[in-house]
A and B are shown apart, each in its own frame.
Chain A
Amino acid sequence: MNQSNENDKLMDHDYDGIQELDNPLPGWWLMTFYLSIIFAIGYVMFYYVFGGPNSDQELAASMEKIELRRAAVAVTGGDEKDESVLVALTSDSTKIEAGQKEFLVKCMACHGNQGQGLIGPNLTDEYWIHGDGSITNIIAMVNTGVPEKGMPPWKDLIQPDMIENVALYIYSIKGTNPPGAKPPQGNKIE
């Protein structure tokens, strides 16, 4: 803008030496404003006049999709192994080590760093409160937890393979009698 042009636009007032120009509102700015207002009206119309879904319906719809995915997995999955197959796997040291690593992250807080028991029961003795201490049973316990006693279900938090590894590790420490072991709880399983 050249100087004479600008002088034409100067308004005839000043405040403490500050002058103001009489420039129009920038067109693109005005357009942005109008568009945002149109959007706002359209958005409200969609949800409150033309029957757009409310938040509960939206949540229900997306949960339904997820349930479908889960159901598909439940059908195709189901490769539960026999106890004998699982026992054979305890010779696989990589699986045991992976299980121990996960145990130290997720289970240690309640069962101690060597399974000796802390908030939760000792996992190294022959006594079991829930079930018989078989690998199948340990897997089931880890999956469902014991919510009433404060053990959370781990099914959604640990991948199935890893739960198997953890169960193999727990099975493998039976009889290790670590220092500070918690006294036996539950039934003795021969």
Chain B
Amino acid sequence: MSMENNQSRTVYDDDIVKKFIYAALIWGAAAFAVGLLAATQLAYWQANFNLEWLTFSRIRPLHTNAAIFAFGGNAIFAGIYHSSQRLLKTRLYSDSLSSIHFWGWQLIILAALITLPLGFSQSKEYAELEWPIDIAITVIWVIFAINFFGTIAVRRVKHLYVALWFYIATILTVAVLHVVNSIEIPVSYLQSYPVYAGVQDALVQWWYGHNAVAFFLTTPFLGLMYYYIPKAANRPIYSYRLSIVHFWSLVFIYIWAGPHHLLNSALPDWAQTLGMVFSIMLWAPSWGGMINGLLTLRGAWHKVRTDPIIKFLAVAVTFYGMSTFEGPLLSIKSVNSLAHYTDWIIGHVHGGTLGWNGFLTFGMIYYLVPKLWNTKLYSQRLANNHFWIGFFGILIYYISMWASGITQGLMWQSIDANGQLAYPDFVETVIKIVPLYYARAIGGSLFLIGFILMLINMWKTISLAPKGQDEQQVDMSNITMDEVAGTGHRKLESLGAVFTVLVFIAILVGSIIEIVPTLAIHKYLPDANKVRPYTPLEQAGRDIYVKEGCYTCHSQMIRKLDFDVIRYGEASKLEESMYDRPFQWGSKRTGPDLARVGGKYPDMWHYRHMIDPREITPKSIMPAYPWLDNKKLDYQILRRKLSVMKRLGVPYDDETVANADIIAEKESLELFNALLEQDPSLENIKDTQIIALISYLQSLGKK
């Protein structure tokens, strides 16, 4: 008899939803604050307080990871768990799995918060976390998947609503992306080398990086949109057919677009072409979501004036439309040659994250909290103020980054009548945009201030809510599984497993076609072109370059563009990075490209520049790295590092591997002696990390 009771009544697990909302709010504050700190340092480099843990290159990955996976992740989990239970008319599959999912995810975030500022980083964007944390992410994600698909399995509703399609695509694809991009071999408890090198690593990483945007910041939020917009506006979805067409086209096309992050680079042309044309074809599928969201609001537009929830949701969808128009535009090779490596990309990303992800999450939480705590929102006025302050914050952010990116991009490419660069001195192009960095920091502050108003509003709402209420039982007696499965897509919606397999196939096609050919690419390089591997000391220095996060501001990829070649030298070739694990092509040039910096300046220049960049370039905005000349280099581990590299196919002979530490020590001593001869006061820098770093920098472009 108890079975029947269970089936006629159910209690939704709202406790887990509340927990994820708390987590999203708390980590959101942290993510935005760290972002503001990073932004402030670009305007005023001293804002790292001369601490390595707070220096831009260490906290930039912390900001992106916290914003995407801590704020975004917890918000997604809250929304998915809340809406799925209601769409499937059942409690979540397992309370224990929900709980492990929640606490496991928070521990992962905590681990990121500790390891990233300490410099434990793989330097792969949005995948910086080191291998033990990668494994934890995989485990927790699988637990989330079991809990979600388990809930689908025990559902009381035969057909899956469009929001659930997007959740399925999210869970499946993020798992594939994370696992494939994180195949790495550990060299110590907190360091590893990826199995991919150079161009392969670049392609796999940007397949991952781009689709993290697609399947962590787009599809789950579209799913949330499909639930919370019709709920909050009390309106039917505009077009069921549009949902079907834009869902499948989005999922199929998105996965191909990754190479647009590598346009004009050494990546083979065919892959660049695929990345570009699929990005352009992605425009309409993306806009399908925007149209369906905005037209669902038809008949509820009057609420935009009065209801802060609708305000947030409507503007979020509008920002989504803007970003997904700008994305294909930026993927056109010629536009990209102007915008890539500049702040335009930063503006583009923040239009999406602050506007779309941020505002959709805020709208959802303003909707959910009063419902879950069975009360009213404490203050509509505060919520409206949050909206306007946040909105102007985003506008200032976006506009200042547009201006900065386009200004700097134009200065970089400007060639005068004599065939010379009009702005040959890189720092000139930086000085020009520093005022815009201040403006951006103001925009970011406004966004954060608005969010603080939300925190106050939420805290008040929750603390004034009636206490000690029982969880509500929901009557399920009149819910019966519809036996009519329908035909065509309607039928597919009733077949959870088949639907999931089809999504899997859709995302696999593009992935395989783009990635598999590059996996063997280095084998086909003519032997004459192959370069020598890094010496032990250079490899040690490279690991420091990675650890410090130099890639956050410096690229190592001279594009096949005249102005890049004139400024930095011959265009980068595939073979030059064939032993680079991880690749360091970079995605942003806050400072100049370093692909051919080797031999350009004396060792002493590099030493003094790292200790105080302004001693060399008075207006430089680069942070100083004074800790590098008092931290000793670990020679011992180099044997292990080189043996891992050898296993991965780098042609070191056994002798070099066995004596890696001794060879490195000798190289280091030579470099040290030469520096000491020029400046006897440097006697203390023997065996320090800076010597290895200089040795690496001097090898760039020299192999």
Q: Can you list 5 A-B contacts (CB < 8 A)?
A: A20-B243, A25-B241, A59-B571, A66-B566, A150-B602
Q: Are A109 and B298 interface neighbours, CB within 8 A?
A: no
Contact with B along A52-80 (1 / 0, CB 8 A): 00111011001100111110010000000
Residues A47 and B273 in contact in the complex (CB < 8 Å), given A15-B161, A33-B285: yes
Q: Are A149 and B602 interface neighbours, CB within 8 A?
A: yes
Contact with B along A22-36 (1 / 0, CB 8 A): 111110011011001
| A147 interfacial contact with B, CB 8 Å | yes
| B238 interfacial contact with A, CB 8 Å | yes
Chain B residues closer than 8 Å to A30, beta-carbon distance:
284
3 closest residue pairs by CB, A with B: A150-B602, A33-B284, A69-B419
User: What is the CA–CA distance of A50 and B566 in the complex, to the nearest angstrom?
Assistant: 30
| B49 interfacial contact with A, CB 8 Å | no
Chain B residues closer than 8 Å to A119, beta-carbon distance:
602, 604-605, 608, 678
Q: Are A110 and B87 interface neighbours, CB within 8 A?
A: no
User: What is the CA–CA distance of A66 and B421 in the complex, to the nearest angstrom?
Assistant: 11
Instruction: Give which listed residue, B237, B243, B270, contacts A19 with CB less than 8 A.
Output: B237
| A1 interfacial contact with B, CB 8 Å | yes
| B71 interfacial contact with A, CB 8 Å | no
Chain B residues closer than 8 Å to A43, beta-carbon distance:
273, 276-277
Residues A11 and B240 in contact in the complex (CB < 8 Å), given A18-B230, A26-B291: yes
Q: Are B239 and A22 interface neighbours, CB within 8 A?
A: yes
Q: Are A69 and B418 interface neighbours, CB within 8 A?
A: yes
Instruction: Give which listed residue, B238, B298, B328, B562, contacts A66 with CB less than 8 A.
Output: B562
| A129 interfacial contact with B, CB 8 Å | no
The stretch of B171-179, B214-222, B611-619 that contacts the partner chain: B611-619
Instruction: Give which listed residue, A39, A40, A54, A158, contacts B269 with CB less than 8 A.
Output: A54
| A189 interfacial contact with B, CB 8 Å | no
Residues A19 and B615 in contact in the complex (CB < 8 Å), given A26-B291, A69-B417, A156-B566: no
Tell me the minimal C-beta distance from A75 to chain B in angstroms: 12
Name the residue of chain B whose CB is nearest to the CB of A150: B602
| B306 interfacial contact with A, CB 8 Å | no
Instruction: Give which listed residue, A10, A18, A55, A59, contacts B565 with CB less than 8 A.
Output: A59
Interface residues on chain B, number (Cβ under 8 Å): 68
Residues A157 and B425 in contact in the complex (CB < 8 Å), given A20-B240, A25-B242, A25-B245: yes
User: What is the CA–CA distance of A70 and B231 in the complex, to the nearest angstrom?
Assistant: 65
User: What is the CA–CA distance of A50 and B238 in the complex, to the nearest angstrom?
Assistant: 43
| B86 interfacial contact with A, CB 8 Å | yes
User: What is the CA–CA distance of A3 and B616 in the complex, to the nearest angstrom?
Assistant: 72
| B191 interfacial contact with A, CB 8 Å | no
Name the residue of chain A whose CB is nearest to the CB of B292: A23
Chain B residues 270 to 297 lying within 8 A of chain A, measured CB to CB, are 270, 272-273, 276-278, 280-281, 283-285, 287-288, 291, 295
| A82 interfacial contact with B, CB 8 Å | no
Residues A32 and B283 in contact in the complex (CB < 8 Å), given A16-B87, A20-B240: yes
Q: Is the interface of B mostly helix, strand, loop or mixed?
A: helix
| Contacts A16-B83, A25-B242, A109-B617 known; 17 new A-B pairs at CB < 8 A | A1-B298, A19-B237, A30-B284, A33-B249, A36-B281, A40-B280, A59-B571, A63-B562, A67-B419, A70-B419, A106-B425, A119-B605, A150-B599, A150-B601, A150-B602, A150-B603, A158-B424
Q: Are B561 and A59 interface neighbours, CB within 8 A?
A: yes
| A88 interfacial contact with B, CB 8 Å | no
Chain A residues 96 to 132 lying within 8 A of chain B, measured CB to CB, are 104-106, 109-110, 119
Q: Is the interface of A mostly helix, strand, loop or mixed?
A: helix
User: What is the CA–CA distance of A22 and B566 in the complex, to the nearest angstrom?
Assistant: 57
Chain B residues closer than 8 Å to A32, beta-carbon distance:
283-284, 287
Q: What bracket does the count of chain A residues touching chain B fall in?
A: 35 or more
Chain B residues closer than 8 Å to A110, beta-carbon distance:
602, 605
| B227 interfacial contact with A, CB 8 Å | yes
Contact with A along B282-318 (1 / 0, CB 8 A): 0111011001000100110000000000000000000
State the A residues within 8 Å of B (CB): 1, 6, 10-11, 13, 15-26, 29-30, 32-33, 36-37, 39-40, 43-44, 47-48, 54-56, 58-59, 62-63, 66-70, 73, 104-106, 109-110, 119, 147, 149-152, 156-158
Tell me the minimal C-beta distance from A65 to chain B in angstroms: 8
Contact with A along B361-391 (1 / 0, CB 8 A): 0000000000000000000000000000000
Contact with A along B141-161 (1 / 0, CB 8 A): 000000000000000010101
Chain A residues closer than 8 Å to B600, beta-carbon distance:
147, 150, 152
Instruction: Give which listed residue, B242, B278, B417, B424, contacts A40 with CB less than 8 A.
Output: B278
Residues A37 and B281 in contact in the complex (CB < 8 Å), given A10-B236, A18-B227, A109-B616: yes
Chain B residues 582 to 626 lying within 8 A of chain A, measured CB to CB, are 599-605, 608-609, 615-618
Instruction: Give which listed residue, A18, A59, A63, contacts B231 with CB less than 8 A.
Output: A18
Chain A residues closer than 8 Å to B283, beta-carbon distance:
32, 36
Residues A24 and B562 in contact in the complex (CB < 8 Å), given A10-B236, A29-B291, A43-B277: no
Tell me the minimal C-beta distance from A77 to chain B in angstroms: 9
Chain B residues closer than 8 Å to A36, beta-carbon distance:
280-281, 283-284, 328
Chain B residues closer than 8 Å to A37, beta-carbon distance:
281
User: What is the CA–CA distance of A83 and B328 in the complex, to the nearest angstrom?
Assistant: 58
User: What is the CA–CA distance of A110 and B604 in the complex, to the nearest angstrom?
Assistant: 9
Tell me the minimal C-beta distance from B374 to chain A in angstroms: 18
Among B231, B280, B285, B609, find the residue whose CB has the most chain A CB atoms closer than 10 A.
Answer: B280
Name the residue of chain A whose CB is nearest to the CB of B606: A150
Chain A residues closer than 8 Å to B249, beta-carbon distance:
33
Q: Are B239 and A109 interface neighbours, CB within 8 A?
A: no
Instruction: Give which listed residue, B287, B562, B615, contacts A29 with CB less than 8 A.
Output: B287
User: What is the CA–CA distance of A158 and B236 in the complex, to the nearest angstrom?
Assistant: 65
| B420 interfacial contact with A, CB 8 Å | yes
Chain B residues 421 to 439 lying within 8 A of chain A, measured CB to CB, are 421, 424-425
Tell me the minimal C-beta distance from A17 to chain B in angstroms: 8
| B560 interfacial contact with A, CB 8 Å | yes
Instruction: Give which listed residue, A16, A17, A29, contacts B284 with CB less than 8 A.
Output: A29
Instruction: Give which listed residue, A16, A23, A24, contacts B86 with CB less than 8 A.
Output: A16
Chain B residues closer than 8 Å to A151, beta-carbon distance:
602
Q: Are A73 and B602 interface neighbours, CB within 8 A?
A: no
Chain A residues closer than 8 Å to B421, beta-carbon distance:
156
Chain B residues 647 to 671 lying within 8 A of chain A, measured CB to CB, are none
Chain A residues closer than 8 Å to B678, beta-carbon distance:
119
Q: Are A29 and B288 interface neighbours, CB within 8 A?
A: yes
Tell me the minimal C-beta distance from A32 to chain B in angstroms: 5
Tell me the minimal C-beta distance from A182 to chain B in angstroms: 9
Tell me the minimal C-beta distance from B655 to chain A in angstroms: 30
Q: Are B605 and A150 interface neighbours, CB within 8 A?
A: yes
Chain A residues closer than 8 Å to B418, beta-carbon distance:
69-70, 73
Tell me the minimal C-beta distance from A5 to chain B in angstroms: 12
Tell me the minimal C-beta distance from B331 to chain A in angstroms: 11
